[in-house]
Amino acid sequence: MTQTKTPYCIHHFFERGAKDSGLIASQDIKCGTVIVEDTILMSISSAELNWSFDILQDAQCLERRYLEKYALVQQKYEEMCENDVKVFDALADNETQNDRHRDMHSQAMMLMSQQNRLCRWNLHQWDKVYSPLASDGSKSAAGIFGTNAIPLGEKWTQVVCPLISRFNHSCCPNAAWQCRPGKVGLGGGECSSSSSHFSNSTKSSGTTSSEEDENRKITVENSESESADTMTVIALRDISKGEEICVSYFESSRMGREARLEMCAKGFGFDCECEVCMQEGFQVIARYGGKKGLQKPEVLDKLPTREWEQVKTAINSSKRRKELEERYEKLERIIRSMETMEVVDAKKDAKLVELEELLTEGEKLLKRMYELYSEEKLFPNCALQTGWASQGLRLYMAGMDVLNLGVANLNTNNSILVGKNREEMIKKARHWAEEQVKWSIMWKGRDDKTVLDLEEWIRQN
């Protein structure tokens, strides 16, 4: 029997405003620390249902597949051992009792009946609004699964865990979840929960927990079993004692506030109340009836300086995240352009000029992205900085590939020029590789294959 493990700290539930419960660090936690190691209560993957992107084009097919999915959830629920059922039932259900989901479900069904396709509804959003809705206000296995499922990002696999599913969302997270493969497939099939029951606690917008759970401490038993896949939560930066530990349920770092709020509402059924989305400036805007109300001359003339500064700070925050997405996409286009660039021709020095221009533009984008991440207080973050360094390494590796492929075709003069360029590229690529290794060790661990491969490349170059 596998157990939930908290090897470095103990957390407790709390009650505060709309957030009915959460997990708090009981001691200082260093970046890269495995905060929680948790077993998987239930998992559902597209492979089990034979899903593909084709179903997005056929509303009737999608409806049938989701009915199959929730039938599978019910089947797996009925196959759980008694202890796992208790732990599963104690998790929040934000769908079965959620009026917003009922409204969204009705709108989605109307849209589908008119156009027989999903249009702008993406798969994840549809999953959240189509869950079976109970009229008696009770919980359902499908509702609990939909509320607590963690998307793993590969083949639409979703898992539910006893403790990790309880972490609240933040658009500026200090932790993130990871899956660590074991010797058996996801979901294991055996009784997998901790002996502790985390009853009456909820996620970001679940039902109110009872008073007896206030400040309840979670105690869990350690286990050496590694036979099943486990989920972990890892600290993305240093976390102080007393700080709430939050993860991001989706890629929020490159989304403006309106897009983030829409994703939380449509994808997860709650209003985001994280420190980024609830900045005082946004509350000032809401108090004056939105941006249009704030722009009225009679309002602007009387708006206190302090509130105006708060509004500017909030708006600039949203703009920075949108700009991050724009810069990221532009950098991706540059890297893809270099990856598909023709071999440098000895008679066409323009190719070398083009390559240098792309590299210069890529460097500027990486620098600006770092500034934006830092201004948004998203850095330090070992996961984001691993990805950022990876982009820098890809940029220079693509440039080196272009030169390596064309070096045999160059005349003597160009060979000297290319040699200097290549030497400079190797130097910069090594810098980005070292940067990626530094953050990857915290994020993935020293034994991660990517880390080992990069360390070997650094030794050879």
308 contacts 280 by C-beta, under 8 angstroms: no
- Provide the β-strand partners of residue 57: none
Residue type, 77: Y
**Which ranges of the chain have pLDDT less than 70?**
1-20, 51-63, 97-137, 153-156, 181-228, 342-350, 405-420
Q: What is the pLDDT of residue 112?
A: 54
Contacts 24+ apart (CB under 8 A), 73-77: 73/42, 73/44, 73/141, 73/142, 73/145, 74/141, 74/142, 76/42, 76/44, 76/187, 77/42, 77/141
Q: What is the pLDDT of residue 201?
A: 33
348's CB contacts (< 8 A; 6+ apart) are none
**Taking the alpha carbons of 168, 173, 174, 175 in that order, is the dihedral positive or negative?**
positive
CA distances from 160 to 46, 72, 106, 343, 452 (A): 15, 14, 27, 49, 31
pLDDT tens, position by position, 76-127: 999 999 999 999 998 888 777 666 555 655 565 555 555 544 443 444 444 4
50 contacts 111 by C-beta, under 8 angstroms: no
Q: What is the pLDDT of residue 50?
A: 73
Please classify residue 368 by burial: count the beta carbons closer than 10 Å to its beta carbon, then call 0-12 exposed, 13-18 middle and 19+ buried: middle
pLDDT tens, position by position, 126-154: 444 444 544 555 788 888 898 888 887 65
- Provide the β-strand partners of residue 341: none
Q: What is the pLDDT of residue 95?
A: 72
Give the closest residue to 9 by CA, choosing from 175, 224, 172: 175
Q: What is the largest CA-CA distance in the chain?
A: 82
Task: Give the Cα separation of 337 and 385 in Å (integer).
Answer: 23
User: Model pTM greater than 0.85?
Assistant: no
129's CB contacts (< 8 A; 6+ apart) are 101, 104, 105, 108, 121, 266
Q: What is the pLDDT of residue 225?
A: 37
Question: Which tokens go with 44?
Answer: 């559902």
The one-character DSSP state at 165 is G
177 contacts 230 by C-beta, under 8 angstroms: no
Question: Which tokens go with 398?
Answer: 């693509």
**DSSP 3-state of 411:** coil
